[in-house]
Structure 1
């Protein structure tokens, strides 16, 4: 069953002006749909069709809008942002396990290959998207791999949510999502989209002292945090997000990896990001200061500079 509202919330009421709107509006933009691994997937593109390609994978309960500020700071690149299955305008997976998300992402990148002229894209994941990208990049049991040139993980999830300091909060959140899924439809939807809860999550993650930027961040969460296919898909995605990390597959990722962490990230402490970097065969870590788990909203220009520098690195050669 599709529990999404019939109208996009962004189209039904005036919003807060984006500080990145002028940059975003200057980019060519395209929207289309594709069948990916049996899932109808909404795909949003930014930048020239002949530019070097980057696939962006957004985080839990978000959609493509969340990564638009980073795309806005990468003119000249072709940025492809699919809505994850079950979120935004994409249909849900039959069962939203981490392996199913990883298989879907491998299929998406493979399906885009002909349009990219044989060039393998870079693939970026933010937060829960970092887990999806990492598991897709690690070779699957059937031998399939993510056909990506390089991997970029923003606010990567390095700490198991059900272990350590975050255990109690994660269990509370899991109970919240399970209760919302068990309630009658109307009550469950009201619990999931309750404004105090959505705002509380936004306040917890935001670190900026810029009042105008903070208003926009809260407005973004108000608009897009409750755009999902069903309550069950939200529960399954949350379950996947708290039971898996990037670190559990880091050693099996062959591509060069760029980690972009934040010194005030309450989801994954910085010390864990340094330990995560050491788990990859080939990784580097950039730490942004004065920001937490919302790098894509608060410091997209700084993140874009790191991305450009990483993608400009010469490719390694055999014997190097």
Structure 2
């Protein structure tokens, strides 16, 4: 079963954010916020799978300002405060009657900052949340190299910076490090996704501003504001945030749930679509209270994701 998304233009902070809508246009809304350097394509697998499990839901997947098909916000520094402000504006326009929100990786920082600024979702889901400082993770040395890489790009004129930031060999190295699956077909597909969508940023300046935001904050800074029901989903082998730090975050957020997906790392949204979508669908509306046919689809999703 497939669900073709509908393309939307949603006004937010004076520009039109591009977004893709799945499922029932009148259903309960779930907003998905993608990670750094990606765009909506990174979460389309999870969005489509959730709608297979929950066709009554409405899923919105926007491109962050300055990435994919969403323009940068003119005259603004693309720091975490700006992204939090943008998400509050986007949600107020796109889902004025209420919504759930999910953030992956850098998207977890955007969502967390927005909540600290007043965003009030019904439920909160964070996949691979950034729960540790950038230089404290399992790949701290590689993070230091990444910081040097982006700083080098900052010194170049725009044409040279874009060439360096979009260098296919560097993007491939990143993809090889992050992917944990041993399935050659899945690895090849992940590399293809990164090659196609990892460099769809508006301009080098916006990308560099967003990178500084991504390595300067953690979700933990804002976790006291997480008073709504909260689900955390973490990859067991995440290179960005070690599992111990995700357990610490779960303990900090009263009543939160943590689902750990074995064998995966920071690319849960690519490597464990079935498991993560089933966890999200069950968190929003427990699968045990729906029709037998929907329960059957959910069971297949969980079994497929663990195969």
TM-score computed with the length of structure 2 as normaliser: 0.88
Could you say what the CA RMSD is over the residues aligned between the two structures, in angstroms? 1.6
Q: Is residue 51 of structure 2 the alignment partner of residue 89 of structure 1?
A: no
Q: Distance in 1 between matches of 2:113 and 2:254?
A: 15
Matched pairs, number: 281
Give CA-to-partner distance per residue, 1:130-179, whole Å, 9 cap, x none. 111111112x2xxxx21310000001110111346554433321221122
The answer for the alignment partner of 1:317 in structure 2 is: none
Unaligned ranges ≥5, structure 1: 1-22, 315-320
Whether the aligned pair in 2 keeps the contact of 1:162 and 1:243 (CA below 8 Å) is no
Match of residue 6 from structure 2? 30
Write the distance in 2 (CA, Å) between the matches of 1:110 and 1:261: 28
Cα distance in structure 2, aligned partners of 1:164 and 1:303: 23
Q: Could you say which structure has the higher helix fraction?
A: 2
Q: Does 1:104 find its partner at 2:86? A: yes
Q: Which runs of 4+ in 1 moved over 6 A?
A: none
Superposition pairs for residues 188-227 of structure 1, below 5 Å? 188-227=161-200
Aligned to 1:312: 285
The corresponding residue for 2:112 is: 134
Distance in 2 of aligned mates of 1:297 and 1:163: 24
Q: What's the TM-score, normalizing by structure 1?
A: 0.84
Structure 1 residue 254 corresponds to structure 2 residue 235: no
| Distance in 2, Cα, partners of 1:262 & 1:92 | 31
SS class of match (1:69): helix
Is the CA contact 1:255–1:282 (under 8 Å) kept in the aligned structure 2? no
CA contact (8 A) 2:123 2:229 kept: yes
Task: Please tell me whether residue 273 in structure 1 is matched to residue 246 in structure 2.
Answer: yes
How much does 1:112 deviate? 1.4
CA distance in 2, matches of 1:251, 1:158: 13
For the residue of structure 2 that corresponds to 1:158, the secondary structure is: coil
- Paired residue for 2:218? 245
State the match for 1:292 in structure 2.
265
